[in-house]
Protein backbone atom coordinates (compact mmCIF):
# COMPACT_ATOMS: atom_id res chain seq x y z
CA UNK A 1 0.00 0.00 0.00
CA UNK A 2 1.01 3.65 -0.27
CA UNK A 3 2.41 5.83 -3.04
CA UNK A 4 3.92 2.92 -4.98
CA UNK A 5 0.63 1.01 -4.87
CA UNK A 6 -1.24 4.02 -6.29
CA UNK A 7 1.32 4.61 -9.03
CA UNK A 8 1.36 0.92 -10.00
CA UNK A 9 -2.45 0.77 -10.24
CA UNK A 10 -2.58 3.78 -12.56
CA UNK A 11 0.29 2.46 -14.68
CA UNK A 12 -1.40 -0.93 -15.02
CA UNK A 13 -4.69 0.64 -16.12
CA UNK A 14 -2.96 2.71 -18.78
CA UNK A 15 -0.95 -0.29 -20.02
CA UNK A 16 -4.27 -2.06 -20.61
CA UNK A 17 -5.10 0.81 -23.02
CA UNK A 18 -7.78 2.10 -20.67
CA UNK A 19 -7.96 5.48 -19.04
CA UNK A 20 -7.96 5.95 -15.29
CA UNK A 21 -11.33 6.50 -13.62
CA UNK A 22 -11.42 7.68 -10.00
CA UNK A 23 -14.87 8.19 -8.47
CA UNK A 24 -15.21 10.48 -5.46
CA UNK A 25 -17.47 9.74 -2.50
CA UNK A 26 -17.96 11.42 0.86
CA UNK A 27 -17.06 9.22 3.83
CA UNK A 28 -20.04 8.89 6.14
CA UNK A 29 -22.66 9.97 3.61
CA UNK A 30 -25.40 7.49 4.44
CA UNK A 31 -23.52 6.43 7.57
CA UNK A 32 -20.15 4.74 7.95
CA UNK A 33 -21.81 1.33 7.75
CA UNK A 34 -22.23 2.07 4.03
CA UNK A 35 -18.62 3.02 3.41
CA UNK A 36 -17.02 -0.36 2.71
CA UNK A 37 -20.00 -1.72 0.71
CA UNK A 38 -19.92 1.41 -1.47
CA UNK A 39 -16.16 1.13 -2.01
CA UNK A 40 -16.57 -2.52 -2.96
CA UNK A 41 -19.34 -1.73 -5.48
CA UNK A 42 -17.28 1.00 -7.13
CA UNK A 43 -14.32 -1.37 -7.38
CA UNK A 44 -16.56 -4.02 -8.93
CA UNK A 45 -17.81 -1.45 -11.47
CA UNK A 46 -14.20 -0.94 -12.66
CA UNK A 47 -12.87 2.07 -10.72
CA UNK A 48 -9.06 2.33 -10.86
CA UNK A 49 -8.90 3.95 -7.42
CA UNK A 50 -11.34 5.84 -5.20
CA UNK A 51 -11.12 9.35 -3.78
CA UNK A 52 -12.63 9.52 -0.33
CA UNK A 53 -13.72 12.90 1.01
CA UNK A 54 -13.47 13.63 4.71
CA UNK A 55 -16.44 15.74 5.89
CA UNK A 56 -15.43 19.22 7.04
CA UNK A 57 -17.54 22.14 8.20
CA UNK A 58 -15.71 24.81 6.16
CA UNK A 59 -14.78 23.41 2.71
CA UNK A 60 -13.29 25.82 0.17
CA UNK A 61 -13.30 23.79 -3.06
CA UNK A 62 -16.57 21.87 -2.78
CA UNK A 63 -19.66 22.68 -4.81
CA UNK A 64 -23.26 22.31 -3.57
CA UNK A 65 -23.55 18.55 -4.12
CA UNK A 66 -20.39 17.67 -2.22
CA UNK A 67 -21.17 20.23 0.48
CA UNK A 68 -24.56 18.60 1.05
CA UNK A 69 -22.92 15.17 1.17
CA UNK A 70 -20.53 16.52 3.79
CA UNK A 71 -23.43 17.91 5.83
CA UNK A 72 -25.19 14.54 5.71
CA UNK A 73 -22.01 12.81 6.85
CA UNK A 74 -21.54 15.28 9.71
CA UNK A 75 -25.15 14.73 10.80
CA UNK A 76 -24.28 11.04 11.08
CA UNK A 77 -21.48 12.10 13.44
CA UNK A 78 -18.68 11.13 11.05
CA UNK A 79 -15.20 12.12 12.19
CA UNK A 80 -11.77 11.65 10.66
CA UNK A 81 -10.89 9.21 13.44
CA UNK A 82 -14.03 7.19 12.70
CA UNK A 83 -13.18 6.92 9.00
CA UNK A 84 -9.65 5.77 9.77
CA UNK A 85 -10.95 3.20 12.26
CA UNK A 86 -13.39 1.74 9.74
CA UNK A 87 -10.63 1.44 7.16
CA UNK A 88 -8.19 -0.10 9.62
CA UNK A 89 -10.62 -2.91 10.27
CA UNK A 90 -11.89 -3.43 6.73
CA UNK A 91 -9.32 -2.15 4.22
CA UNK A 92 -8.54 -5.72 3.12
CA UNK A 93 -12.01 -5.90 1.52
CA UNK A 94 -11.04 -3.25 -1.05
CA UNK A 95 -8.11 -4.09 -3.33
CA UNK A 96 -7.69 -0.78 -5.23
CA UNK A 97 -5.96 2.40 -4.00
CA UNK A 98 -7.72 4.91 -1.76
CA UNK A 99 -6.99 8.64 -1.81
CA UNK A 100 -8.19 10.98 0.93
CA UNK A 101 -9.43 14.47 0.03
CA UNK A 102 -9.34 16.67 3.11
CA UNK A 103 -8.31 20.10 4.32
CA UNK A 104 -5.32 21.09 6.39
CA UNK A 105 -7.29 22.07 9.50
CA UNK A 106 -8.55 18.53 10.29
CA UNK A 107 -5.00 17.22 9.83
CA UNK A 108 -3.60 19.79 12.28
CA UNK A 109 -6.35 19.06 14.80
CA UNK A 110 -5.70 15.33 14.54
CA UNK A 111 -1.93 15.83 14.75
CA UNK A 112 0.21 15.68 11.62
CA UNK A 113 2.47 12.79 12.63
CA UNK A 114 -0.41 10.81 14.12
CA UNK A 115 -2.51 11.46 11.00
CA UNK A 116 0.07 10.07 8.59
CA UNK A 117 0.83 7.11 10.83
CA UNK A 118 -2.86 6.23 11.05
CA UNK A 119 -3.38 6.76 7.31
CA UNK A 120 -0.65 4.23 6.66
CA UNK A 121 -2.23 1.80 9.12
CA UNK A 122 -5.61 2.31 7.43
CA UNK A 123 -4.28 1.69 3.92
CA UNK A 124 -4.61 5.25 2.59
CA UNK A 125 -2.37 5.58 -0.47
CA UNK A 126 -2.60 9.24 -1.41
CA UNK A 127 -3.75 12.61 -0.16
CA UNK A 128 -5.28 15.71 -1.77
CA UNK A 129 -5.29 18.90 0.31
CA UNK A 130 -6.81 21.76 -1.75
CA UNK A 131 -5.95 24.51 0.73
CA UNK A 132 -2.27 23.57 1.18
CA UNK A 133 -0.11 25.44 -1.38
CA UNK A 134 3.31 24.21 -2.43
CA UNK A 135 4.94 26.93 -0.36
CA UNK A 136 3.69 25.23 2.81
CA UNK A 137 4.20 21.62 1.78
CA UNK A 138 6.99 21.40 4.34
CA UNK A 139 4.32 21.30 7.06
CA UNK A 140 3.50 17.70 6.13
CA UNK A 141 6.14 16.53 3.66
CA UNK A 142 8.46 14.75 6.08
CA UNK A 143 5.62 12.70 7.57
CA UNK A 144 4.22 11.89 4.13
CA UNK A 145 7.61 10.63 2.99
CA UNK A 146 8.15 8.63 6.19
CA UNK A 147 4.85 6.79 5.74
CA UNK A 148 4.99 6.50 1.94
CA UNK A 149 1.81 8.43 1.18
CA UNK A 150 1.52 10.32 -2.12
CA UNK A 151 0.77 14.05 -1.96
CA UNK A 152 -1.23 14.93 -5.06
CA UNK A 153 -1.12 18.47 -6.43
CA UNK A 154 -3.89 20.38 -8.20
CA UNK A 155 -3.17 22.54 -11.26
CA UNK A 156 -5.83 25.06 -12.26
CA UNK A 157 -6.67 26.75 -15.54
CA UNK A 158 -5.17 29.96 -14.15
CA UNK A 159 -1.83 28.38 -13.20
CA UNK A 160 1.11 29.89 -15.10
CA UNK A 161 3.44 27.63 -17.06
CA UNK A 162 6.15 28.10 -14.45
CA UNK A 163 3.69 27.14 -11.73
CA UNK A 164 2.56 24.13 -13.76
CA UNK A 165 6.17 22.96 -14.07
CA UNK A 166 6.64 23.15 -10.32
CA UNK A 167 3.32 21.46 -9.52
CA UNK A 168 4.08 18.67 -11.97
CA UNK A 169 7.55 18.19 -10.52
CA UNK A 170 6.24 17.94 -6.97
CA UNK A 171 3.06 15.92 -7.53
CA UNK A 172 3.04 12.23 -6.58
CA UNK A 173 0.71 9.48 -7.78
CA UNK A 174 -0.96 11.73 -10.31
CA UNK A 175 -1.42 15.41 -11.14
CA UNK A 176 -4.99 16.63 -10.69
CA UNK A 177 -6.00 18.95 -13.53
CA UNK A 178 -8.83 21.26 -12.48
CA UNK A 179 -10.96 21.80 -15.59
CA UNK A 180 -13.17 24.68 -14.44
CA UNK A 181 -12.61 28.10 -12.93
CA UNK A 182 -14.46 27.58 -9.70
CA UNK A 183 -15.80 24.92 -7.38
CA UNK A 184 -16.79 21.32 -8.00
CA UNK A 185 -20.13 20.40 -9.55
CA UNK A 186 -21.59 18.81 -12.67
CA UNK A 187 -21.50 20.97 -15.81
CA UNK A 188 -22.74 20.68 -19.38
CA UNK A 189 -19.87 22.53 -21.06
CA UNK A 190 -16.21 23.29 -20.43
CA UNK A 191 -13.88 26.14 -21.26
CA UNK A 192 -12.40 25.81 -24.77
CA UNK A 193 -8.88 26.19 -23.39
CA UNK A 194 -9.09 22.93 -21.46
CA UNK A 195 -7.40 20.78 -24.10
CA UNK A 196 -4.47 23.22 -24.20
CA UNK A 197 -4.34 23.16 -20.40
CA UNK A 198 -4.27 19.36 -20.32
CA UNK A 199 -1.65 19.18 -23.06
CA UNK A 200 0.55 21.60 -21.11
CA UNK A 201 0.25 19.49 -17.98
CA UNK A 202 1.02 16.31 -19.92
CA UNK A 203 4.10 17.95 -21.39
CA UNK A 204 5.57 18.66 -17.98
CA UNK A 205 4.21 15.91 -15.72
CA UNK A 206 6.19 12.74 -14.99
CA UNK A 207 3.06 11.22 -13.40
CA UNK A 208 -0.38 10.64 -14.99
CA UNK A 209 -2.59 13.70 -15.48
CA UNK A 210 -6.23 13.28 -14.45
CA UNK A 211 -8.96 15.81 -15.22
CA UNK A 212 -11.57 16.65 -12.60
CA UNK A 213 -14.32 19.09 -11.57
CA UNK A 214 -17.58 19.15 -13.52
CA UNK A 215 -17.30 15.85 -15.42
CA UNK A 216 -20.77 14.30 -15.43
CA UNK A 217 -21.42 12.15 -18.50
CA UNK A 218 -19.82 9.30 -20.48
CA UNK A 219 -19.22 11.82 -23.28
CA UNK A 220 -17.29 14.07 -20.88
CA UNK A 221 -15.22 11.10 -19.75
CA UNK A 222 -14.32 10.16 -23.33
CA UNK A 223 -13.65 13.74 -24.43
CA UNK A 224 -11.45 14.63 -21.47
CA UNK A 225 -9.57 11.34 -21.68
CA UNK A 226 -8.46 12.14 -25.23
CA UNK A 227 -6.14 14.82 -23.82
CA UNK A 228 -5.03 13.22 -20.56
CA UNK A 229 -4.72 9.95 -18.66
CA UNK A 230 -8.18 9.80 -17.14
CA UNK A 231 -10.73 11.52 -14.94
CA UNK A 232 -11.97 12.08 -11.41
CA UNK A 233 -15.76 12.27 -11.06
CA UNK A 234 -17.35 13.46 -7.83
CA UNK A 235 -20.66 15.33 -7.80
CA UNK A 236 -22.25 13.12 -10.44
CA UNK A 237 -21.22 9.95 -8.59
CA UNK A 238 -22.70 11.30 -5.35
CA UNK A 239 -25.98 12.16 -7.09
CA UNK A 240 -26.16 8.70 -8.67
CA UNK A 241 -25.42 6.96 -5.37
CA UNK A 242 -28.19 8.98 -3.74
CA UNK A 243 -30.56 7.89 -6.51
CA UNK A 244 -29.42 4.26 -6.32
CA UNK A 245 -28.56 4.37 -10.03
CA UNK A 246 -25.78 1.80 -10.26
CA UNK A 247 -26.25 1.29 -14.01
CA UNK A 248 -25.37 4.90 -14.83
CA UNK A 249 -22.33 4.67 -12.56
CA UNK A 250 -21.26 1.60 -14.52
CA UNK A 251 -21.69 3.49 -17.81
CA UNK A 252 -19.61 6.40 -16.55
CA UNK A 253 -16.76 4.14 -15.47
CA UNK A 254 -17.13 2.02 -18.60
CA UNK A 255 -16.61 5.10 -20.76
CA UNK A 256 -12.97 5.17 -19.62
CA UNK A 257 -12.22 1.72 -20.97
CA UNK A 258 -10.49 1.38 -24.32
CA UNK A 259 -10.10 5.14 -24.82
CA UNK A 260 -6.95 6.09 -26.72
CA UNK A 261 -5.43 9.55 -26.82
Closest CA to 86 of 31, 24, 151, 146: 31
Query: Pick the catalytic residue: 13, 62, 118, 172?
Result: 62
Q: Name the strand (E) or helix (H) holding 2.
A: none
161 is catalytic: no
Q: Where are any strands of DSSP class E within 4-71?
A: 20-26, 50-53
Which residue in the list 13, 51, 125, 143 is annotated as catalytic? Answer: 51
The dihedral built from the CA positions of residue 118, 13, 204 and 103, taken in this order, carries a sign that is negative
Residue 62 among the catalytic residues? yes
DSSP state letter for 20: E
Asked if 83 and 28 count as a contact pair (C-beta separation under 8 A), the reply is yes
* Of residues 172, 154, 150, 174, the one with CA closest to residue 163: 154
Q: Are 208 and 20 in contact (CB under 8 A)?
A: yes
Q: Strands, DSSP E only, in the chain?
A: 20-26, 50-53, 98-101, 126-128, 150-152, 154-155, 175-178, 209-212, 230-233
| Active centre residues (catalytic) | 51, 62
Amino acid sequence: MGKEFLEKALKTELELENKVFIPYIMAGDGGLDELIPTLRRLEAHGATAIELGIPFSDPVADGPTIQEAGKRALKHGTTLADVLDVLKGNRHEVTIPLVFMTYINPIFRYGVSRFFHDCREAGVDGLIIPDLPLEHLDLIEADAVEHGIAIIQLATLTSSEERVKELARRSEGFLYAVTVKGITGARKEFDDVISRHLNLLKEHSPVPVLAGFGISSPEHVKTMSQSCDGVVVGSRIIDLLQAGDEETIKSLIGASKGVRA
